[in-house]
A and B are shown apart, each in its own frame.
Chain A
Amino acid sequence: MSDRSNDMIPRTPLGGTEPRVDTHGPVTLTEVTNTAIASFASRLGQESTAQDVLAKFLGTPVPEAGRAVFGDALGAFWTGPDQWMVTAPHTSHEDLAAQLVPLANGSASITEQNDAWCRFDLLGDGLADVFERLCPFNIRACSGGEATRTSIDHLGCFVVVADPTHIMVMGPRSSAGSLHHALMTAIRSAH
């Protein structure tokens, strides 16, 4: 294509052309856009087949209830009985769901979630002070590898703990601004 003047310009969930980064006190809040996401729900009666497919794809056992696994590129976290969310870098795995569908071969329902979610990463010390203002999930009991769905300012969000100084929040993309406001308010309140 010679004329690229009409190409669409991708926007981040917060509406910018570049992911937003905010720093307050010891905490850095980063909008993360390079994440491809696919939901993976085992079909009735084929739970063990589906689990084997996902474990092989990830290269690790699937995460147990309330847990997440992180690989070099691929990650996954538990979202419910026999259900997981699979994540990977968007730049290399934009077609993550399409890769999983033939592997599952009907043992799981796989749905692309790339544009459904916004992701914010909180990095720094004192994150438990922030999250105890945001949701009823006990972050102080976390050492890394935990994942849960919870409510943050009435938004159903996933909270994934990489380690106590790095926590990821995934919320509905259409409410990215509200979620960012909630996170910033809690960070400013705590620090």
Chain B
Amino acid sequence: MIIHHPLLGPRDASEFTYLGDAALIHRPDWEAEDALDQFIDYGYLRSNPAGLHRELWFHEGGDRSWLVVTRDTTTHEITKVELARDVARQEGRSK
């Protein structure tokens, strides 16, 4: 499996480690009224789609950037790769 790193081009999947659902970058606000419920959802509840899945990969054997990879769980086809920091910035976080 080849992952097309947005900065470094095609890299073998063996250079990467997998974390899980890309929703993990949406860490809840610990000061919120319902922080406990939010963290239970954040920590334990995952959707398990058969099809397109956005997930976090870490370029451990490379430049150590976090990526948001869109992968089809039924075919392993990767249709989109973004830097996680760009995704977070688009959502107005990390300035």
Interface residues of A (CB under 8 A from B): 44-45, 65-66, 78-81, 136, 148-151, 156
Q: Select one of A44, A81, A150 contacting B62, CB under 8 A.
A: A150
Contact B14 A136 (CB under 8 A): yes
Contact A149 B62 (CB under 8 A): yes
Contact A66 B8 (CB under 8 A): yes
Partner of B61, one of A65, A79, A151: A151
* Chain B residues near A78 (CB-CB < 8 A): 63
A-B contact pairs, 20 of them (CB 8 A): A44-B94, A45-B95, A65-B7, A65-B63, A66-B7, A66-B9, A78-B63, A79-B63, A80-B63, A80-B65, A81-B7, A81-B63, A81-B85, A136-B12, A149-B62, A149-B64, A150-B15, A150-B61, A150-B62, A151-B15
Q: Main SS of chain B's interface residues?
A: loop
Q: Are B95 and A44 in contact (CB under 8 A)?
A: yes
CB distance from A106 to the nearest CB of B (A): 16
By beta carbon, the residue of chain A nearest B95 is A45
Question: Cα distance A66–B64 when bound, in Å?
Answer: 13
- In contact, A136 and B15 (Cβ under 8 angstroms): yes
The count of residues in chain B whose C-beta lies closer than 8 Å to any C-beta of chain A is 16
Q: B11 on the interface (CB 8 Å rule)?
A: yes
When the two chains form their complex, are residues B12 and A149 in contact, meaning their CB atoms are under 8 A apart? no
Binding site for A on B (CB under 8 A): 7-9, 11-12, 14-15, 61-65, 83, 85, 94-95
Q: Chain B residues near A136 (CB, 8 Å)?
A: 11-12, 14-15, 61
Give the Cβ gap from A136 to chain B, nearest Cβ, in Å: 5
Chain B residues closer than 8 Å to A151, beta-carbon distance = 15, 61
Q: Is the CB of A81 within 8 A of B8?
A: no
Which residues of chain B come closer than 8 Å to A81, judged between CB atoms?
Answer: 7, 63, 65, 83, 85
Contact (Cβ within 8 A) A148 B8: yes
* Shortest CB distance B75–A (Å): 23
B95 touches A148 (CB 8 A): no
**A79: which B residues are within 8 A, CB to CB?**
63
A146, chain B: closest CB distance, angstroms: 10
Given that A136-B14, A136-B15 are contacting pairs, would A80 and B8 also be in contact in the complex, using a CB cutoff of 8 Å? no
- Nearest CB on A from B73, distance (A): 24
In the bound complex, CA of A136 to CA of B64 (Å)? 15
Expressed in whole angstroms, the Cα–Cα distance for A156 and B14 within the complex equals 14
Closest CB-CB distance, A167 to chain B, in whole Å? 17
B14-A149 in contact (CB<8A): no
On whether the beta carbons of A148 and B62 are closer than 8 Å, the reply is yes
Distance in angstroms between the alpha carbons of A22 and B8 in the assembled complex = 32
A65 and B94: CB pair below 8 A? no
The docked-state distance in angstroms from the alpha carbon of A80 to that of B85 is: 12
**A156 neighbours in B (Cβ, 8 Å):** 61
